[in-house]
Amino acid sequence: MDKVIIFDTTLRDGEQAAGGTLNVQEKLEIASRLEKLGVDIIEAGFPASSPGDFEAVSLISKEIKNSVICALTHANFKAVDRAWEAIKGAAHPRIHIFLSASDIHLIHQLKKSRDEIMKMACDTVARAKGYTGDIEFSPMDASRTEPQYLYQILEAVIDAGATTVNIPDTVGYSVPEEFGGLIEGIFKNVKNIEKAVISVHCHNDLGLAVANSLEAVRRGARQVECTINGIGERAGNASLEEIVMAIRTRKDLYDLTTGIDTRQIYRTSRLVSDLTGFLVQPNKAIVGANAFSHESGIHQDGVIKMPITYEIIDPRTVGVPSSSLVLGKLSGRHAFKQRLSELGYSLEDEDLNRAFTAFKELADKKKDITNRDIESLVAEEQRTVSEEYHLKRIQVTCGDKGVPTAAVRLIGPDGKTIEDAALGTGPIDALYKAINRIVKVPNSLTEFTVKSVTEGIDAIGEVLIRIESDGVTYTGRGADTDIIVSSAKAYINALNRLIAATGEVS
């Protein structure tokens, strides 16, 4: 094969990142974007884990037509049956069974023998095979599993019907030479390996997830499991954008291709960042704010003369517009729509009208509007489309001699205006107390972060918060040139997510 299959697990492993909870509609939005990106396989979730995950996987299965939709399952019949129920409506369904294989896991966690694990693996693969011909099996903690036993279990599950065998570096323990050797050993020692695709799923605990994945590809693996922005459990997963662009940029080394439309990478990255609340670090490869920025005079001189001197990737190939056109209050609808298109947004007329109105309001406050301002503005508009509670107006007074006071006016679920006021230790505290008097949903604030979207005193301030209710974390984001307003928007956003997930409305 000259193609590497891209298996995206943003909606499953990515969502396992602490604080990364997504609701059903947000998962569908990301899945639709992944389909547009050209992802071969979307691991939509873990149906047996919760009713919400089952609902999300079912909905995605019905709506997505081009990508394979995969459901993860434990190695037991009930979970396998549940997985199939969730994905049976998919145009291209896959069942993905995982089961620990290392002695560390068998002895200390599962307390089962190797023979028992072997039987569980084969029995559940055979069960899944009764539903669909596309079966993936993962011997969890494969990189710490005794190689001979790993070979045996892989051969057995392929005989039972597995068409893809995934080799997970579950705890990010391997280094490239070692992991590549493991893949090579599988090719040499698993007799029926030609009947299955070898996949890899690497974690980033030592910062080697991408390096390990690429080495595995070089040694013959032809499916890579990864996530947008590298999000996931603990230190995260191999980053999809880094894997794809490494293969594309270094064709001289890999002589391989993927089916990814790289022009959609940046937009997909921003969407996942916005919905999960996980900011992309500025120096992140491919999609970071500084990925195509040059401050050194020597570098700037080289890039001006010939970009390839210091840029190995044309920013436009990953969806970062190179246009220097400045938008402001005199810019028209056409210029605004064109810039949205360059940034990867395609809005319906109603959404475009709303976004353009917000753009004009912002233009009255800021002289120049950057791409990041527009991304923040559109994201803010999308956050407010379907809300139980909508922020109508706030008024705050504070100072070193006065008592911080906040008055809030919200539009409630029934469309009626509700208002209240409160005192606090500071303006944000007063504001949140006033909102809580209206939206009576118990929660505790666990994180509050403010950052500037762009430079300058007139920059948009973006607030990210996380609240916790019954042990579940919900993320909220808000953006405005007034950080008090941003804070209110972020809190309302988080509360609306909580309400959507629990059905609690005061």
What is the per-residue pLDDT across 288-331, written as a single tens digit (0 to 9) for each? 888 877 656 666 567 567 777 878 898 889 988 765 456 777 77
Which pLDDT score is estimated for 46? 96
Say if CB 384 and CB 369 are below 8 A apart. no
Which pLDDT score is estimated for 439? 94
Number of structural domains (the chain) is 4
For the residues 138-150, what does the mean pLDDT come to?
A: 98
Which pLDDT score is estimated for 428? 95
> Pairing between strand 472-480 and 461-469?
antiparallel
Q: Is residue 283 assigned to a domain? A: no
**One domain, residues 92 and 29:** yes
Dihedral in degrees, nearest 10, Cα atoms 282, 27, 66, 51: 150
Which pLDDT score is estimated for 377? 79
Q: What percentage of the chain reaches a pLDDT higher than 70?
A: 95
Q: Is residue 397 assigned to a domain? A: yes
pLDDT digits (tens, 9 = 90+) for 224-250: 999 999 999 999 999 999 999 999 999
For residue 326, the one-letter residue type is V
At 106 the three-state DSSP class reads: helix
**One domain, residues 299 and 348:** no
Asked if residue 184 has pLDDT above 80, the reply is yes
Q: Is residue 142 assigned to a domain? A: yes
Asked if residue 478 has pLDDT above 50, the reply is yes
Query: Which letter does DSSP use for residue 231 in this model?
Result: -
Say if CB 134 and CB 94 are below 8 A apart. yes
**One domain, residues 490 and 419:** yes
Domain end, chosen from 276, 308, 334, is at 276
Say if CB 439 and CB 465 are below 8 A apart. no
pLDDT digits (tens, 9 = 90+) for 63-110: 999 999 999 999 999 999 999 999 999 999 999 999 999 999 999 999
Asked if residue 372 has pLDDT above 90, the reply is no
Q: How far apart are CA 351 and CA 360, in angstroms?
A: 14
**One domain, residues 85 and 225:** yes
**One domain, residues 254 and 220:** yes
Say if CB 199 and CB 164 are below 8 A apart. yes
Q: Is residue 359 assigned to a domain? A: yes
Asked if residue 362 has pLDDT above 90, the reply is no
Q: Is residue 281 assigned to a domain? A: no
Q: Which helix (H) or strand (E) holds 362?
A: helix 349-363
Q: Is residue 31 assigned to a domain? A: yes
pLDDT digits (tens, 9 = 90+) for 426-440: 999 999 999 999 999
Structure tokens given for 298:
């020597």
Least confident segment among 10-19, 242-251, 409-418: 10-19
> Pairing between strand 93-100 and 68-73?
parallel
- 């991304």: which residue's tokens? 375
**One domain, residues 121 and 161:** yes
Q: Is residue 282 assigned to a domain? A: no
Which pLDDT score is estimated for 506? 59
Report CA-CA distances (Å) from 75 to 80, 83, 127, 134, 211.
7, 11, 10, 16, 30
Q: How far apart are CA 248 and CA 260, in angstroms?
A: 10
**One domain, residues 365 and 497:** no
- Cβ neighbours, 10 Å, residue 426: 11
- Residue numbers of the domain that contains 375: 323-382
For the residues 375-387, what does the mean pLDDT come to?
A: 71
- 């693969």: which residue's tokens? 125
Query: Which letter does DSSP use for residue 446 in this model?
Result: E
**One domain, residues 172 and 23:** yes
The CATH number that applies at residue 199 is: 3.20.20.70
Say if CB 336 and CB 354 are below 8 A apart. no
Which pLDDT score is estimated for 1? 55
> First and final CA of the chain: distance in angstroms?
57
> Pairing between strand 164-169 and 472-480?
unpaired
Say if CB 94 and CB 136 are below 8 A apart. yes
Q: How far apart are CA 499 and CA 447, in angstroms?
A: 19
H helices of 18-164, in order, are 24-37, 51-63, 77-87, 103-105, 114-129, 147-160
Which pLDDT score is estimated for 455? 73
**One domain, residues 355 and 267:** no
Q: How far apart are CA 479 and CA 387, in angstroms?
A: 16
Which pLDDT score is estimated for 242? 98
Confidence grade of residue 400 (pLDDT, cut at 50, 70, 90):
confident
**One domain, residues 236 and 106:** yes
Q: Which residue has the higher pLDDT, 267 or 381?
A: 267
Q: What percentage of the chain reaches a pLDDT higher than 90?
A: 67
User: Among candidates 48, 55, 12, 47, which has minimal Cα distance to 30?
Assistant: 12
**One domain, residues 206 and 327:** no
Spacing of C-alpha 92 from chain mean position: 22
Asked if residue 385 has pLDDT above 60, the reply is no
**One domain, residues 339 and 471:** no
Q: How far apart are CA 17 and CA 99, in angstroms?
A: 20
Q: Is residue 453 assigned to a domain? A: yes
Q: Where are the beta strands (DSSP E) in 424-505?
A: 444-452, 461-469, 472-480
Q: How far apart are CA 462 and CA 490, in angstroms?
A: 9
Q: Considering the entire predicted model, what is its pTM?
A: 0.81
In whole numbers, what is the pLDDT of the chain averaged over residues?
A: 91
pLDDT digits (tens, 9 = 90+) for 21-62: 788 988 999 999 999 999 999 999 999 999 989 999 999 999
